[in-house]
């Protein structure tokens, strides 16, 4: 079976233990980012199965037209809008989904909170440039950490915050607020209170129609001039251009960002990268070896099950009746 795996930037796929699940098949792995769909289709080598790493590759109708033998897309997580499911239905392509693991993203989020407050990356760069103690950071203890989204990741951040002696404030859906209140946590009375009183605001929402651009420029401008805004979820949660504009206006005073409107970023002159009050990481939330083993083992099992006629975790089961390898 011809199986293609694009966007293996770290050249790690073949080193995973679970990669052995695909032994005996013709595997094509692409290690570079290819933005041109025609070139991408050519490099994918006429696949019958695609295995995607999270949201790195966008599956559009125009790409599907160039992959006539494609029958399955096995995704390492959930579809976050990067796969056109309706187009897959029209072309008879089944989409198998995996499940998320909150640990790696939660840990990175906390690392960004610590680095953003203490300004550790800036101090390291200063030291490399022959400077000593160029800034003064702020501790977590006693700060109010605002968590928007009380799900698997948000609940882990809450526990980290408690261990560091911070106060937690929750905002989110009615269900999230109710759950947080039942667990004994402070819940904001309004979005305005949430943004204006928290020392750190961290987003932990899924990107969908109801949450797209849910964070407005006016929300960010309500933050304190020394507050930290953290996003390890999705860039699309923020009104386009709002974060950059708000940072230039001084509210919030700092940001720690792992997700961007367009990825990957190769331009060292990207505006966020040029700001001294912003810590940027290259979408590392889920990029961790144990997490990769978990994500890809599910994706590869879905592939094997599909090949043997027992498809699992199919998001669009209506295509299965007309789909066979």
Same domain for 73 and 113, yes or no, is no
Residues 93 and 112 in one domain: no
Report the pLDDT value the prediction gives residue 300, as an integer from 0 to 100.
98
Q: What is the pLDDT of residues 197-222, one digit of tens each?
A: 999 999 999 999 999 999 999 999 99
Which class for 200: exposed (0-12), middle (13-18), buried (19 or more C-beta within 10 A)? buried
227 and 308 together in one domain: no
pLDDT at 78: 84
Question: Considering its fold, how many domains does the chain have in total?
Answer: 2
Rounded-to-integer distance, Cα 57 and Cα 5, Å: 10
Same domain (yes/no): 239, 227 = yes
Strands 2-5 and 49-52, by their bridges, are: parallel
**How far is the C-alpha of 84 from the C-alpha of 82, rounded, in Å?**
7
Q: What is the pLDDT of residues 276-312, one digit of tens each?
A: 999 999 999 999 999 999 999 999 999 999 999 999 9
Determine whether 132 is exposed, middle or buried from the number of CB atoms within 10 Å of its CB (0-12, 13-18, 19+).
exposed
Looking at residue 322, its pLDDT comes to: 64
Whether residues 96 and 106 share a domain: the answer is no
Domain co-membership, 51 together with 175: no
Q: Which residue stretches of the chain have pLDDT < 50?
A: none
109 and 174 both lie in a single domain: yes
Q: What is the pLDDT of residue 323?
A: 58
Q: What local confidence, expressed as pLDDT, does residue 54 receive? A: 79
Distance of CA 103 to CAs 35, 74, 106, 292, Å?
30, 22, 5, 12
State the catalytic residues.
Answer: 234, 263, 283
Question: Tens of pLDDT along 116-129?
Answer: 999 999 999 999 99
Give the CATH number for residue 56: 3.40.50.720
Print the domain residue range for 303: 2-100+288-322
* pLDDT given for residue 324 in this prediction: 54
Residue at token pair 């990268």:
273
Using DSSP, state whether 265 is helix, strand or coil.
Answer: coil
Residues 6 or more apart whose Cβ sits within 8 Å of residue 281: 108, 112, 256, 257, 258
Rounded distance, CA 203 to CA 150, Å? 10
| Residue 273 shares a structural domain with residue 318 | no
pLDDT in the model for residue 174 = 96
Same domain, 307 and 180: no
Same domain, 133 and 221: yes
Tell me how far apart the alpha carbons of residues 21 and 24 are, in angstroms, rounded to a whole number.
Answer: 9
Identify whether residues 204 and 312 lie together within a single domain: no
CB 146 within 8 A of CB 171: yes
Q: Are residues 188 and 250 in the same domain?
A: yes
């Amino acid at each position: 079976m011809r199986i293609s795996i694009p966007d293996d930037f770290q050249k790690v796929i073949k080193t995973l233990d679970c990669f052995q699940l695909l032994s005996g098949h013709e595997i094509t792995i692409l290690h570079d980012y290819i933005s041109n769909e025609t070139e991408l289709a050519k490099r994918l080598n006429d696949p019958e199965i695609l295995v995607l790493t999270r949201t790195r590759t966008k599956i559009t109708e125009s790409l599907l037209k160039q992959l006539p033998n494609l029958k399955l897309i096995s995704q390492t997580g959930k579809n976050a809008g990067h796969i056109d499911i309706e187009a897959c239905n029209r072309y008879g392509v089944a989409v198998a989904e995996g499940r998320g693991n909150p640990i790696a993203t939660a840990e990175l989020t906390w690392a960004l909170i610590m680095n953003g407050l203490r300004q550790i990356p800036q101090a390291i760069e200063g030291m490399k440039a022959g400077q000593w103690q160029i800034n003064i950071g702020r501790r977590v203890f006693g700060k109010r950490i605002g968590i928007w989204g009380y799900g698997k990741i948000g609940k882990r951040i809450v526990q980290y915050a408690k261990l560091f002696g911070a106060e937690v404030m929750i905002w989110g859906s009615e269900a999230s607020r109710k759950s947080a209140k039942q667990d004994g946590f402070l819940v904001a009375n309004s979005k305005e209170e949430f943004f204006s009183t928290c020392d750190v605001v961290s987003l932990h929402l899924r990107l969908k129609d109801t949450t797209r651009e849910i964070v407005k420029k006016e929300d960010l401008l309500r933050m304190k001039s020394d507050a930290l805004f953290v996003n390890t979820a999705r860039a699309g949660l923020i009104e386009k251009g709002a974060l950059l504009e708000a940072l230039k206006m001084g509210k919030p005073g700092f940001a720690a960002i792992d997700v961007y409107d367009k990825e990957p970023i190769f331009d060292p002159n990207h505006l966020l990268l040029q700001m001294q009050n912003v810590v940027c990481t290259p979408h590392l939330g889920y990029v961790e070896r144990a997490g990769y083993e978990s994500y890809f083992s599910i994706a590869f099992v879905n592939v094997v099950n599909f090949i043997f006629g027992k498809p699992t975790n199919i998001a669009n089961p209506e295509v299965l009746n007309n789909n066979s390898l």
